[in-house]
A = this chain, B = another copy of it.
């Protein structure tokens, strides 16, 4: 008997690279011990949440015996949380947004799906620079749409506006970017984003449906060396930003994120209403109550990002000394080095034989590279150097 759909059968049989590496890692750790494996496979924030999280939970504990303490709320979130977030985002994004321009969502992943549910029709296309976070393809498919990857510039992974424009068709409904980027660590500059906005304005002209620009920004807080992360909201009226507090507050399990639309979007109330409705009918209903309460207290706080800075420096040193070619990440917590072997799957196997775990680039739509996540102790990075050196020596 067929228990799941054909599509789901294919998904379940398909190659989920991150999971494969994860299972391989468990096996290696079992065999050689936890300490003997340098696991750079998972982007799982390992820093403790800032102190304000515990303080807020203690406060909530004292109020938990009240009626409606964790009751239903309006689908877009607690009004006080929306208002505080609007103020926070107005400063961060450099445009004045109000509570009516945003909704709280179950993480950024929930936010992307809610947006897609409101705007995508089966057959639509979502254009995305490659490499990209592999979940994007599934999110588009949930709504009968297709992800269309477009190449980025060689070596820097910066946006290639001409390549993005070439990927646009009459079915294109969304162009989505992710900056600071997973897996490359690139941060798109203001000039580049202005070019992108100009291209989208040109391409949207004469259409009865705008091409949306969606910026997925879970790593916004984590840019290095004073690099600015420019906002798309002031640059293009049909733009949206999706964010989360998984990384900057180390709260990925509690699922708390948001969607905010550009205040320059004509008639944006309808889009927000559609997303709020989608939040309800997709079964999210509302972002988790405790997560929202935490957010209200924790806005403006963050994990100690100097830890990530030191790890980035350590990883760059290890890779350089071992002789790898790589783009120095300007944000997020990933390196995406070039594979010394054009077959990066074979090379990742060689790394695994040295008990160093990485994810092949094809897991992000770009073979020939591999991803390293530095959500691990600096000591693990230091310890990985001989393994990296032996793997490249072949």
Interface residues of A, Cβ cutoff 8 Å to B: 1-8, 11-12, 42, 44-49, 51, 53-55, 57-58, 60-73, 106-107, 109-114, 117-122, 135, 138-139, 141-142, 144, 207-210, 238, 250-255, 265-268, 270-271, 273-274, 277-278, 280-286, 288-291
Cross-chain contact B110 with A5 (CB below 8 angstroms): no
B112 adjacent to A270 (CB under 8 Å): no
**Given A138-B281, A252-B70, does the pair A2, B57 have CB atoms closer than 8 Å?**
no
Q: Is the CB of A288 within 8 A of B253?
A: yes
Contact B3 A283 (CB under 8 A): no
Q: How far is the CA of A67 from the CA of B135 in the complex (A)?
A: 25
Do A208 and B57 contact each other (CB < 8 Å), given the known contacts A44-B71, A283-B111, A291-B290? Answer: no
The reply to whether B118 and A4 contact each other, CB–CB distance below 8 Å, is yes
Q: Give the one of A61, A107, A109 with max B CB within 10 A.
A: A61
Q: Is A112's CB under 8 angstroms from B252's CB?
A: no
CB neighbours of A73 from chain B (8 A): 253
Asked whether, in the complex, the Cβ of B61 is within 8 Å of the Cβ of A49, the reply is no
Instruction: Give the complex CA separation of A277 and B277 in angstroms.
Output: 24
Closest to A253 in B: B289
Smallest CB gap from A43: residue in B: B72
- The winner among A3, A58, A255, A274 for most chain B CB atoms within 10 A is A3
Q: Which residues of B contact A209 (CB under 8 A)?
A: 1-2
Chain B CB within 10 Å, residue with most, of A117, A120, A121 = A117
Min CB distance A230 to B, Å, is 24
Q: A120 touching B271 by the CB < 8 A rule?
A: no
**What distance in Å separates the Cβ of A243 from its nearest Cβ neighbour in chain B?**
14
Distance in angstroms between the alpha carbons of A26 and B251 in the assembled complex: 36
Residue among A12, A65, A68, A265 with most chain B CB within 10 A: A68
With a cutoff of 8 Å between Cβ atoms, the chain B residues found around residue A70 in the complex are 49, 53, 250-254
10 CB < 8 A contacts A-B: A2-B208, A8-B278, A53-B70, A54-B62, A54-B63, A60-B61, A67-B250, A72-B253, A109-B285, A253-B289
Cβ contact of A291, chosen from B3, B251, B267, B288, cutoff 8 A: B288
B71 & A110 in contact (Cβ 8 Å cutoff): no
